[in-house]
Amino acid sequence: MAHFAQIDENNLVTQVIGVHNNELLDKNGIEQESLGVAFCIAHLGGRWVQTSYNRNFRKNFASMGYFYDEKLDAFLPPKNYPSWVLDKEIWGWVPPVTYPTDGKTYNWNEETLSWVEQPVSK
């Protein structure tokens, strides 16, 4: 099963569907993304990009709300906060300050760009 993500005019994923691998086979029996895209367009219209459930290409499996970055040829999850940056090792967003490792619970404060300790409920 091949998977394809429909992306809107802002490159946001609006849906992900499965397409039988036979729809991607060219006359030589080789899978071609373009044939899967053509199948999706013929049946549903819109713009489509193949995504990999195993993350073999395009970095992440696309989900609704993900962004397709054409320059990076990658699906990126929604960004948690404006200050967070893309970590190209994990292909996800990370804060500019590392989460404390003292065993306490923290929430990110975007105004101060810092982790704020959560009070312990009694």
Would you list the DSSP string of 32-73? -HHHHHHHHHHHH-SEEEEE-TT-SSSSS---TT-EEETTTT
Tell me, yes or no, whether 8 lies in a domain: yes
pLDDT at 120: 80
Q: Provide the pLDDT for residue 72.
A: 97
Token pair 């054409």 is found at: 70
* 101 CB neighbour count, 10 Å cutoff: 6
For CA atoms 50, 56, 59, 60, the dihedral sign is: positive
* Structural domain contains residue 42: yes
Distance of CA 21 to the CA centre of its chain: 22
pLDDT score for 31: 96
Confirm whether 6 is domain-assigned. yes
Domain count for the chain: 1
Pairwise CA distance, residues 38 & 108, whole Å: 43
Give residue 63's pLDDT. 97
Examine residue 47 and state whether it is found in any structural domain, yes or no.
Answer: yes
pLDDT attached to residue 46: 97
Task: Give pLDDT tens digits along the chain (122 positions).
Answer: 999 999 999 999 999 999 999 999 999 999 999 999 999 999 999 999 999 999 999 999 999 999 999 999 999 999 999 999 999 999 999 999 999 999 999 999 999 999 999 988 77
Inside any domain, residue 90:
no
Please report the pLDDT score of residue 99 as a whole number. Answer: 97
Q: Is residue 94 part of a domain?
A: no
Token duo for residue 25: 């086979």
**Helix or strand or coil: residue 76?**
strand
Contact 18, 68 (CB under 8 A): no
User: Has residue 117 been placed in a domain?
Assistant: no
Residue 89 domain-assigned? no
Residue 69 lies in domain: 2-78
What is the structure's pLDDT at 119? 87
Report pLDDT for 98. 96
